[in-house]
Amino acid sequence: MVWYPSRRRGTIGRMTEEHSENAKSAAKPELPKDVRVRFCPSPTGTPHVGMIRTALFNWAEARATGGKLVFRIEDTDAQRDSEESYNQILESLRWLGIDWDEGIDVGGPHGPYRQSERTDIYKDVAAKLFEAGYAYESFSTPEEIEARNVAAGRPKAFGYDGYDRNLTEEQKAAFRAEGRKPALRIRMPDEDIAFDDLIRGTIEFKAGSVPDYVIVRPNGDPLYTLTNPVDDAMMDINVVLRGEDLLSSTPRQIVLYRYLIELGIAKQTPLFGHMPYVMGQGNKKLSKRDPESNLFNHRDAGFIREGLLNYLALLGWSIAPDRDVFSMDEMIAKFDVRDVKANPARFDIDKAISINAEHIRALEPEDFLRRSVPYLHRDGVVSADNWDALTDREKAVLTAAAPLVQPRVRLLGEVAGMVGSLLSTEGYIEPDADARKQLKDSAADVLDKAIAALEAVDESEWKTDPLHELLSKVLVEEGGYKPRLAFGPVRVAMSGRRVSPPLFESMEIVGKDVTVARLKGLREHL
């Protein structure tokens, strides 16, 4: 026989092997009419891309179906949880624009929304499970479990063997007399357990493959195995979208839901969808400690929310076979979690940066500038960290530079390198090493000719096109230099960089005096 969650609210049906085989060939299950999903991270570190991908897919499913997203915090691990991490999770969601309908800072009818404030609820549910016989006291220590496995010829780490299932009251009393305190374990049924995964189709776990598991530690602390399903049940969550790493715990939750339904605590067994792993370099699962996993590293580098969310959406899902760049509104219009692929997704930083560049180019120029200013201030090229507080000159230079720079940067962190020379009034900019390598033996002659020609230009004629025409005539037509050799030294003098905004537009922005001073400065340092 197979325990199989019914799609009707409030029941879990018993299926024959024949029915189970039919389920295997069926389509992925229909979604509930009123979808309720949740995002429930543990505050144990800096937000990472896997966590945010989970939040994004839950958010997209809620918005696509007109459902609700519940945001709660699972903070019952006092040794690992931190308030700093909690605040970082909130900061990351707000930065990305992932909002929620119920939960932290929003409220709702099912609070509180931090597990550390729900201890009495878990104690009450655990007591009811014990009184009903669904849970039992277990006195075995890990060392005793391992020793029994070895004695029975099983691997040491085989897992719990059910030893305490049928202890007599005398045996329990003897353990207590030794000073032992029991854990509480859920009694798993001796049947196969199957469910229809929204992403992977029907999945079955054979009888005996999932041992009785602990829901309350001997010290009375509730575990994730209890708190997570209880919260989902009491918050009426009917679709659970989470990572593939939690797939092995699903049969435990399905059984616990059955017990909670029978106790009148749960209304239904939710549908489950297990999202694919996010892989890093070398086809290894992307570690939380990998720099590429750290969400704030990407923000610090200059990803904008639209670009990063777009790329994270591609880690298991696509809007169309031939399309990678889209807005969140477009994602919501098309998203269905049943279209998510089960195969692992690889985090490709180069592709992520490329997609971010597309979204930067799509920004309105004023929006681009306002978002860039905090990075410019961080890198020391403007006087304030917001647009309104900048000087008039800074605003004028940046406004003129925006159409030159915006199409050429991929990350907002690159803007400072592009506009720093335009904002500077220095008469000499020390060239970067790779820029100096571009200077050939002809650089001195090129700079001498350019300086002589530019010094004769009237301020009123100091415009992009006339400057281009003049230097083309002096250096290319009359000087006989190819454009690369003709304009390369001038570019290096103006910006100190190998890659810079368009040369003649830059010369117009910084003006005649600074331009000539920079050419003379480089000439002196050759």
Phi first, then psi, for residue 184 (nearest 5°) are -110, 130
Here the tokens at position 522 are: 């480089």
Here the tokens at position 357 are: 């560049």
Q: Tell me which residue of 317, 312, 314 sits closest to 341, measured CA to CA.
A: 317
Here the tokens at position 476 are: 């290319």
288 is catalytic: yes
Alpha carbon distance 69, 306 (integer Å) = 20
DSSP string, 388-452: GGS-HHHHHHHHHHHHHHGGG-SSGGGHHHHHHHHH---S--PPPHHHHTT--TTHHHHHHHHHH
Are 500 and 488 in contact, with CB atoms under 8 Å apart?
Answer: no
Alpha carbon distance 524, 526 (integer Å) = 6
Are 225 and 55 in contact, with CB atoms under 8 Å apart?
Answer: no
Phi first, then psi, for residue 401 (nearest 5°) are -80, -25
What one-letter code names the amino acid at 63?
A: R
Paired strand residues for 278:
345
Alpha carbon distance 166, 43 (integer Å) = 38
Are 130 and 136 in contact, with CB atoms under 8 Å apart?
Answer: yes
Q: Tell me which residue of 250, 198, 195 sits closest to 30, measured CA to CA.
A: 198
Please tell me the total number of residues recorded for the chain in this structure.
Answer: 526
Alpha carbon distance 472, 470 (integer Å) = 5
Alpha carbon distance 65, 426 (integer Å) = 57
Q: In whole angstroms, how far apart are CA 37 and each of 76, 222, 231, 358?
A: 21, 23, 12, 31
Contacts of 460 (CB under 8 A, 6+ apart): none
60 CB burial (10 A radius; 0-12, 13-18, 19+): buried
Residue 153 falls in which region: left (phi positive, over 0), alpha (psi -120 to 50) or beta:
left
Residue 236 falls in which region: left (phi positive, over 0), alpha (psi -120 to 50) or beta:
left
Q: How many CA atoms lie within 13 A of 435 on its CB side?
A: 20
Cis peptide before 251 (omega within 30 of 0): no
Centroid of chain to Cα 375: 21
Alpha carbon distance 148, 211 (integer Å) = 15
Q: How many CA atoms lie within 13 A of 8 on its CB side?
A: 5
Catalytic residue among 267, 285, 288, 341: 288
288 known member of a binding site = yes
Alpha carbon distance 4, 25 (integer Å) = 15
Binding-site residue positions for ATP: 288
Show which residues are catalytic: 288
